[in-house]
Amino acid sequence: MVESPSQSQSSGFIWRFCLLQTIPIASAYLFLGMAFGIYMTEAGWHPGWVLTTSMVVYAGSLQFVLVALLASGASFLTVALMTLFINTRHLFYGIGFIEPFRKMGWKYPYMIFALTDETYSLLCSVPVPEGIDRRKVYFRIAVLDHGYWLCGSLAGALLGRAVPIDFAGIEFSMTALFVIIFLNQWKQCRSHLPAVTGLCFGVFFLILLGPDAFLLPTLGATVGLLLVLRQKVVAAESEAARG
Amino acid sequence: MDKHVYTAFVILLAGGVTIFLRACPFLLFGRRQALPSYVAFLGNYLPPAIMAVLLVYCLKGIRFNSYPYGLAECLSVALVVALHLWKSNSLLSIGAGTGCYMILIRTVFACG
């Protein structure tokens, strides 16, 4: 049966679609959020602070580092520099979303705030169904992801180590999600130059600089090379479109 | 300084710097009528490159030079790829891959 436009545009339909799309992120965020909640409360902070951190900062790896910084009474300068250092990669995420986000009214600032690695990846690849405003999908996905993160954090803070289940390894769902998005984009894109560039620089700098320092040089070099090869990428794309 | 005041400042500072970083492209280009052509180009072609980089980022912790040589990760990634090429069902691929990984690190490649 073909759904009428009014049916497929209905709020419930879009929410269900977004819930399904965010299942991999839900499993990762609930688990990692719980790990964060347990970590911060065991370090001596009230569950209220756990919730505030996940609400206001909303950046996975940074939040774990923050607990260590808080516990050691680090200076504000150290906190600012660590945040810059860990999260600089986020500089690159907004570039593809300027056009859709800026037409979203009051949701515009929230969409920028909520652009985590995982939400960014999903927004890049989500197959918005025919006839649905993709901005509605974007906003619901952002809200759901933030919600998973908050629920996980709160559950971890309140339940602590009382949770009897061993979830070790569930963070692999994030890797699996990235693998799938990578495969889908590989199939969609006519020019594979961007993907190959990112992959090669990633492996190269990982071997050269090690796991803690490779990310920023990789992103910088990738952007640089893509800009240099811009004509070539666009030509390859249009040539493949003609052929 | 009082612990609560200090905590509040640290959280606000970290949150502020993070949203500033996320907002940079929008602050730079958000008010223009038309995007500069190189920004539009990056907007279209950067995402596949960033996904490739994030993939490397996810797997950066693997030690290929000592046991278990990243075998749990490699086998699970291979399963995800194979399932996805075969069935094209994201949830199936992610669920099976993650399950495979969780079982492998507890059984075949359990450390200690």
Report the complex ipTM.
Answer: 0.83
Write the CA distances from A206 to B63, B77, B108, integer angstroms: 12, 19, 27
CA–CA dist A190, A218 (Å, integer): 23
pLDDT tens digit sequence for A180-207: 888 988 887 788 999 999 999 999 999 9
Nearest to A151 by CA among A47, A25, A30: A30
Q: Which of B17, B19, B47 sits opposite A112 (nearest CB)?
A: B19
C-alpha distances out from residue A180 to A146, B35, B62, B79, Å: 22, 30, 20, 11
Show which of residues 131-190 on chain A sit within 8 Å of chain B, judged by CB atoms.
Answer: 168-170, 172-183, 185-186, 189
What distances in angstroms separate CA B104 from CA A222, B93, B100, one per listed residue?
34, 16, 6
Q: How far B68 CA sits from the closest chain A CA (Å)?
A: 15
In residues, how long is chain A? 243
What pLDDT was estimated at residue B38? 84
Task: Examine the domain organization and report whether A120 and A80 are in the same domain.
Answer: yes
Worst-scoring range by mean pLDDT, A86-90, A92-96, A168-172? A168-172
For position A171, what pLDDT does the model report? 74
What sign does the CA torsion over A32, A125, B19, B52 have? Answer: positive
* Per-residue pLDDT reduced to its tens digit, A110-169: 999 999 988 998 998 898 988 899 999 999 999 999 999 999 999 989 987 676 667 678
> Which of B2, B3, B11 should be substituted to probe chain A, the one whose Cβ sees the most A Cβ atoms within 10 Å?
B11
Question: For chain B, what are the domain ranges?
Answer: 65-112
Whether residue B64 lies within 8 A of chain A, CB to CB, comes out as no
Q: A89 and A201 share a domain?
A: no
A141 and A198 both lie in a single domain: no
Instruction: Give the pLDDT score at B21.
Output: 93
Instruction: For residue A54, give the 3-state DSSP assignment.
Output: helix
The domain boundary residue, chosen from A164, A187, A210? A187
pLDDT > 50? residue A230: yes
Contact A66, A87 (CB under 8 A): no
Residue B81 — left, alpha, or beta (φ > 0 → left; ψ -120 to 50 → alpha)?
alpha
Task: Please indicate, yes or no, whether residues A123 and A237 belong to a single structural domain of this protein.
Answer: no
| CB–CB contact A56 B12 (8 Å) | yes
Q: What is the pLDDT of residues B31-86, one digit of tens each?
A: 877 778 888 888 888 888 888 988 898 888 888 877 788 899 999 999 999 999 99
CA angle A122, A126, A130 (to 5 degrees): 160
Q: Which of A145, A171, A187 is the last residue of a domain?
A: A187
Better pLDDT: A99 or A146: A146
Handedness of CA A16, A17, A18, A24 (dihedral sign): positive
Q: What pLDDT shows up at residue B111? A: 66
User: CA dist A32 to A23, A64, A120, A131, B80, Å?
Assistant: 14, 10, 18, 35, 21
Do A145 and A241 belong together in one domain?
no
Within this chain, do residues A194 and A183 fall inside the same structural domain, yes or no?
no
Domain shared by A137 and A220, yes or no: no
What is residue A155's predicted lDDT score, i.e. its pLDDT?
93
Global confidence as pTM: 0.78
Q: Which pLDDT value is given to residue A1?
A: 45
Alpha carbons A34 and A162: distance in angstroms, whole number: 12
Chain A partners of B23 at a C-beta cutoff of 8 Å?
A: 94, 112
Q: Which residues contact A59 (CB under 8 A, 6 or more apart)?
A: A86, A87, A90, A116, B14, B18
> For chain A, what is the domain count?
2
Closest Cα in chain B to A190: B45
Predicted confidence at residue A120, as pLDDT, reads 92
Give pLDDT, residue A9: 65
Instruction: Say which amino acid occupies A123.
Output: L
Give the domain extent around A27. 5-187
